[in-house]
Structure 1
């Protein structure tokens, strides 16, 4: 049950940093400085909050390095999707990652899924697609859609490395190393694309700091939960972030409560119940 709650909390924080990223004018710059704020905060509290994890494990760092390549690519592709298209039209494509993850988890991690659990995964992904449907459209396949689908594919491999990383003794070192490598990779990309200038996010500096703290909460809580829950179930539960995103959009941005949002919410809730029963 505790792992279940950690995953749900991580879904909330995941949706929150996505909303902060979507509202930023320059999404590449905001993405980098958000991760930079996260790693600064993580570095400051590591010896204070996690002193028992202050030791080095070569295998854990290597796993974190590989995972960070996939997750950095995912973040860059998501930023590109937000840049080229209305994300509400293409976001459902990013929910394809649990399908990829289920395949990798069964093949490589030898996870066994119950009928109820698998049904819950399918319902959660379907509900997310319905939740993000706009009137008359399920998504237009253009540049934004292509970037979103590619993001889901790369995320699935990162998730596979995640499970390996958190299964080791020093999973805090894994999360820290992954966060550090991701910040470095996004920095290199931002330098090459010319999107690193702080002036791009200067007016949003307090939002950047807040987003960094949110990213930290998202990274840590998800990996804590992943220690206790099968990867297949964890990745599906993470899709509840769409539900939180829709609710926050209604509360903070005065978005309309549509039939699709209501129906998608009900389907997602049913999926969560199925996953919980099947765990």
Structure 2
């Protein structure tokens, strides 16, 4: 993997983990996420208008935007639901494990292949994610993994990871056809509309107002860092393989687990620490993969 996309993804790792921590620390996850999408479209409206005027936008691009919005909406929905039932230090690693799905999907849909080093890196990342689910390294801990994987938090997180794999591939194709920032902004705008329609039907105005009053600053921060983070990723996707970009993003689990432990008082067990270290080794190998 080339140096520049590697650095861009490394930066995105920290900002992505941070805005996930902010969502987890909110009171009503779905309302918080819906309001953050409004903030996001407002913050980046002026740059979007600029890119719209200078780029060659075609009506045919709308289908790229709407499909991306649909896949990403499911990711936000599954992620918010996962945080409702599970700890940040568990949900975040699983939701970032799109690498479980990416190599196969990338091969069949865009003909992307990875070398031997890449395969080893992917296996280590998957193994690390699996180990994180263990309560302990004894027999009781191994047996408990089935119940851990089967809980609602982990199931929703795994569905979020599948959605991440889906939109990563879709984005890889889409940014070769239209300007990356405008592409991301327009499908974010579509998501903002639909997510807030969903929130308005499911929750009362009083609940929405309460979430805004309690977490206004955090909502605005998520609005900024979400776009900032993924613009870095989209730029990296124009320079590198989707599988490697997605795999390297898995290293954000280290930051996510640390934030959950340090700021939310979540448990950081020996299996989680071991899983994190194995995932770091796997992610590091991606730098030398071809």
TM above 0.5, one fold? yes
Name the residue aligned to 1:35: 37
Q: Tell me if the contact between 1:30 and 1:201 (Cα under 8 Å) persists in the aligned partners.
A: yes
In structure 2, C-alpha distance between the alignment counterparts of 1:133 and 1:41, rounded to whole Å: 41
Q: In the TM superposition, what is the alpha-carbon distance from 1:6 to its structure 2 partner?
A: 1.1
- What aligned pairs does 1:188-267 form with structure 2 within 5 A after superposition? 188-194=197-203, 197-253=208-264, 258-267=269-278
Q: Match of 1:162?
A: 171
Distance 1:270 1:180 in 2: 37
**Which consecutive residues of structure 1, in runs of 5 or more, have no partner in the other structure?**
none
Conserved 8 A contact 1:98-1:121: yes
Match of 1:115 in 2: 116
Deviation, 1:254, is: 5.5
The CA deviation string for residues 221-278 of structure 1, in whole angstroms up to 9 with x for no partner, is: 1111111110111111111111111233344446565433432332122112221111
Indicate whether 1:126 and 2:127 are aligned. yes
**RMSD between superposed Cα atoms in Å:** 2.4
- Number of aligned residues: 278
Q: Distance in 2 between matches of 1:31 and 1:9?
A: 22
TM-score, length-normalised on structure 2? 0.86
> Taking structure 1 as reference, are residues 131 and 89 closer, same or farther at Cα in structure 2, changes over 3 Å only?
closer
CA contact (8 A) 2:127 2:278 kept: yes
Are 2:93 and 2:256, in contact at CA under 8 Å, matched by a contact in 1?
no
> Distance between the aligned counterparts of 1:249 and 1:28, measured in 2?
19
1:116 to partner: Cα distance = 0.4
Tell me the distance in 2 between the aligned counterparts of 1:264 and 1:192.
40
In the TM superposition, what are the counterparts of 1:27-66 in structure 2 within 5 Å? 27-47=29-49, 50=51, 53-66=54-67
Calculate the TM-score normalised by the size of structure 1.
Answer: 0.89
- Which residue number corresponds to residue 103 of structure 1? 104
8 Å contact from structure 2 (residues 92, 253) kept in 1: no
**Structure 2 stretches lacking a partner, 5+ long:** none
In the TM superposition, residue 218 of structure 1 has moved relative to its aligned partner by 1.3
What is the deviation of 1:161? 1.0
CA distance in 2, matches of 1:92, 1:173: 29
Confirm or deny: 8 A CA contact 1:117 1:274 kept in the other structure: yes
Bigger Cα displacement from structure 2, 11-20 vs 189-198: 189-198
User: 1:125-173 deviations in whole A, cap 9, x for unaligned?
Assistant: 3223434654435325133333222222233222221111112242222
